[in-house]
Structure 1
Amino acid sequence: MKERQYEIIESRENMKKFKVSLLQLDIVFGDPETNYINVEKYIKKAVSDKPDVLVLPEMWNTGYALDKLGDIADKGGQRTKNFLSNLAKRFAVNIVGGSVATEEAGKYYNTSYIFGRKGNLISQYQKVHLFGLMNEDDFISAGSVQNQFVLDDVKAAGVICYDIRFPEWERKLMSKGQQILFVSAQWPAKRIEQWRMLLCARAIENQSFVVAVNRVGEAPKNSFNGHSLVIDPLGKILAEGTTDVEGVFTCEFDLDDLTEVRGSIPVFKDRRPELY
């Protein structure tokens, strides 16, 4: 069978709509081989909706099998980069690659990779805020750089899970005109209401769209129930993965909504950073 060809969109200068597909996945604990196969399956399913960007959850290659990282972490992130680059190019789609466990010079990181439609690496990010309740800080090293990037002329930023509890971090990331905040997570079911409230707050205070993907399924010490979200700049939930099973959730929104919201209440203009 001849492989379907996907058209690369060179510019969205005159296009207002932006379509995102959220891959709300189960993650097999400590089993990269199975997880790579599953991610590829769902990417192939998601592209049928012709999204502008695919978004994956946090630590999808290994789960939080932190005591096994010496054997299963992606060395230099090379496997993941090749994997996502090839899929982005094959399907001519942007990919916000969630995050994976990587090993760099003897240290382990929770690392995100973002790829453009031509398979080019646009940005990479190592999680800055490490979550002690899941023992992340005992095994993972913290990053120290920002994750700001452009997808089809749309300015965006990306964070990972626990990062959303630090609004000063998001404000820094969103302060240069970013229109979308992407969030990838493994957020446990027992704190899911906090997930929803925190993300709505991040959307309102930064007057931006928030696209947030959470996993589903079971891990040795936690259960996960999805509730992946797309939120508009006023805090309205546009789409939510309310089931606790794997699935692809696609949502299209109008980027021109940002102009009206930011014009009526100019939060960034009215800031007084000299006081805080």
Structure 2
Amino acid sequence: MKWTISCLQFDIAYGNPSENIKKAESLIEKESKHADVLVLPELWTTGYDLTNLDLLADDDGLAAQSWLKKTAKTHGVHLVAGSVAVRKGGHIYNTMYIADKEGKIVKEYSKAHLFQLMDEHLYLSAGSSDGYFELDGVKSSGLICYDIRFPEWIRKHTTKGANLLFISAEWPLPRLDHWKSLLVARAIENQCFIAACNCTGSNPDNEFAGHSLIIDPWGRILAEGSKEEGAVRAEVDLEESEAVRKQIPVFADLRKDLY
């Protein structure tokens, strides 16, 4: 199976959900004509306006899910809808939703690793479930930003069969080299495709890197964005992941008796 995947990177309006939804809808309208799967950045409705998340958070994610189901079905596209701030049971989570092209929610994943350097732990609660799901029969996983620094967390998903990782982020410009190196490494060691959508622009405290990436199981970069807004698009042959895993049988050679 071949898919065209587009990462929609844009400058997130700080603490302004209505403006961000308009921008996302405009990008989706244009890019859905060219792609099978669209990916949005992390916290794309609010940005890192952490101190106001209690006011901005989506109660039980109901608004986000309603928007997602309608948007995916209207455009006939699979939508990895980045992540949004969701209030549940007195806690606020950084939560990713994925919908298929029929408008069905197929996965909800809340960020497991909170980035203390940007004070996430002061305003958000960590999730406790994994990001594994199947999208139109394709074994996949959704992960969020800081998660990529935990290779054992990524491996948990790929040992379950995931051969396509979707990553949404607000990754800062000063660590752009880390962004690229970590993603290429995760692709090579897990012999999987990666579609990683980062935001562009800045907020009062940070400048973001952009440079969304689509990477193949050999670690080759198929498409890379710049610091500007826009779609980062590539076609992927999903059977290539299994072919690479047969050629270099890393998963067959895991020493589960040792680790």
Which category describes the TM-score, using the shorter chain as reference length? over 0.9
Corresponding residue for residue 24 of structure 1: 9
TM-score, normalised relative to structure 2: 0.98
Aligned position for 1:230: 214
Determine the C-alpha separation between the residues in 2 that align with 1:220 and 1:208: 36
1:259 Cα offset (Å): 3.0
Deviations 1:230-250 (CA, angstroms, capped at 9, x unpaired): 0011111000002x1210122
SS at match of 2:251: helix
Q: For residues 185-208 of structure 1, what are the alpha-carbon distances to aligned partners after superposition, in whole Å with 9 as ceiling and x for unaligned?
A: 000000000000000010011000
Letter of the 2:24 counterpart: V
Q: What letter corresponds to residue 146 of structure 2 in structure 1?
A: Y
Cα offset, 1:122, TM superposition: 0.1
User: Which residue does the alignment assign to 2:53?
Assistant: 69
- The answer to whether the 8 A contact 1:225-1:245 is kept is no
8 Å contact from structure 1 (residues 95, 114) kept in 2? yes
Q: 1: distance between equivalents of 2:142 and 2:14?
A: 24
1:194 to 166, 175, 178: 178
Residue pair 2:133, 2:139 contacting (<8 A) in 1 also: yes
CA gap of 1:105–1:259, structure 2 versus 1, over 3 A, is: closer
**Equivalent residue number for residue 143 of structure 2:** 159
**Aligned ranges 1:122-141 → 2 under 5 Å:** 122-141=106-125
* Gap runs ≥5 in structure 2: none
SS of residue paired to 1:217: coil
Q: State how far apart, in whole Å, the 2-side matches of 1:19 and 1:91 are.
A: 15
Query: What pairs up with 1:202-217 in 2 under 5 angstroms?
Result: 202-217=186-201
Report if aligned partners of 1:131, 1:162 keep a CA contact under 8 Å in 2. yes
Q: Which amino acid aligns with 1:245?
A: E
Q: Which amino acid aligns with 1:60?
A: W
Give the superposition deviation at 1:25.
1.2
Q: Is the 8 A contact 2:214 2:233 kept in 1?
A: no
Q: CA deviation at 1:274?
A: 2.1
| Cα drift, residue 37 of structure 1 | 1.1
Whole-Å separation in 2 of the counterparts to 1:154 and 1:105:
32
Residue 233 (structure 2) pairs with residue 250 (structure 1): yes
Match of 1:110 in 2: 94
Residue in 1 that maps onto 2:165: 181
- 1:55 is displaced (CA, Å) by 0.4
Query: 2: distance between equivalents of 1:70 and 1:152?
Result: 35
**Paired residue total:** 259
* Mapped partners of 1:167, 1:175: distance in 2: 12
**Alpha carbon RMSD of aligned pairs, Å?**
0.9
Alignment partners' CA distance in 1, 2:201 and 2:237: 32
Distance 2:99 2:240 in 1: 26
Aligned partner of 1:264: which letter? Q
Tell me, yes or no, if structure 1 residue 262 matches structure 2 residue 245: yes
Shift of 1:273: 1.9
Q: Percent identity?
A: 49
Structure 2 residue identity aligned to 1:36: I
Deviations 1:11-67 (A, max 9, x none): xxxxx2111011011101111111111111111111121x11110000001111111
- Normalized against structure 1, the TM-score is what? 0.92
SS in 1 for 2:246: helix
Map of 1:44 onto structure 2: 29
- How far apart are 1:117 and its partner, in Å? 1.0
Q: In the aligned structure 1, how far is the partner of 2:241 from the partner of 2:105?
A: 27
Residue aligned with 1:234, SS = coil
Query: 1 CA distance for matches of 2:238 and 2:59?
Result: 38
